[in-house]
Copies of this chain bind each other. A is one copy, B any other.
């Protein structure tokens, strides 16, 4: 069963490259044994660096379910999700994830997934990108107002 959905994700990835529409990545999201959404990489087509297959599939599945969470859903990806997509998978509260290639296969094909994994794990001041925590006196004001708000939708 897992193999069948993974094969579908791989086929989507292959078709996407052949059609010249984006990178070699495909995803299907399954609920109760049925595919409810798919996604392929469309970064360059949509001019959107966040338009990875997983992100687009998660957004599509949420539209189908009319929800901002995907409990009880399984994500099948042609390749191990990058840190961005992995974060999205946690926020969407998917049940489980299966993938066919890994970050090292992606690296060999010229993609930064493994570099980003390594860099994200480093302390701020050792990363390749300049990132700095600047403390402002009222920085936590948004959080304080959030915590005081009674009728909020938690996520």
Knowing A86-B83, A142-B25 touch, does A47 contact B67 (C-beta < 8 A)? yes
Question: How many residues on A have C-beta within 8 angstroms of the other chain's C-beta atoms?
Answer: 91
Contact: A90 with B68, CB < 8 Å?
no
**Interface assignment of A88: CB less than 8 Å from any CB of chain B:** yes
Give bound CA distance, A126 to B2, whole Å: 20
**A48 partner residues in chain B, CB cutoff 8 A:** 59, 62, 68
**Interface assignment of A37: CB less than 8 Å from any CB of chain B:** no
Chain A 119-135 interface mask (CB, 8 Å, partner B; 1/0): 11100000001111111
Within the oligomer, what is the number of copies of this chain?
A: 2
Give bound CA distance, A92 to B101, whole Å: 23
**A43 partner residues in chain B, CB cutoff 8 A:** 68, 91, 155
Give bound CA distance, A111 to B140, whole Å: 13
**A152 partner residues in chain B, CB cutoff 8 A:** 17, 20
Give bound CA distance, A48 to B23, whole Å: 23
Contact: A112 with B129, CB < 8 Å?
no
Question: Which A positions have Cβ atoms within 8 angstroms of B?
Answer: 2-3, 6-7, 10, 13-14, 16-18, 20, 23-26, 43-44, 46-50, 52, 55, 58-59, 62-63, 66-70, 78-80, 82-102, 105-106, 108-110, 112, 115-116, 119-121, 129-136, 138-143, 145-147, 149, 151-155
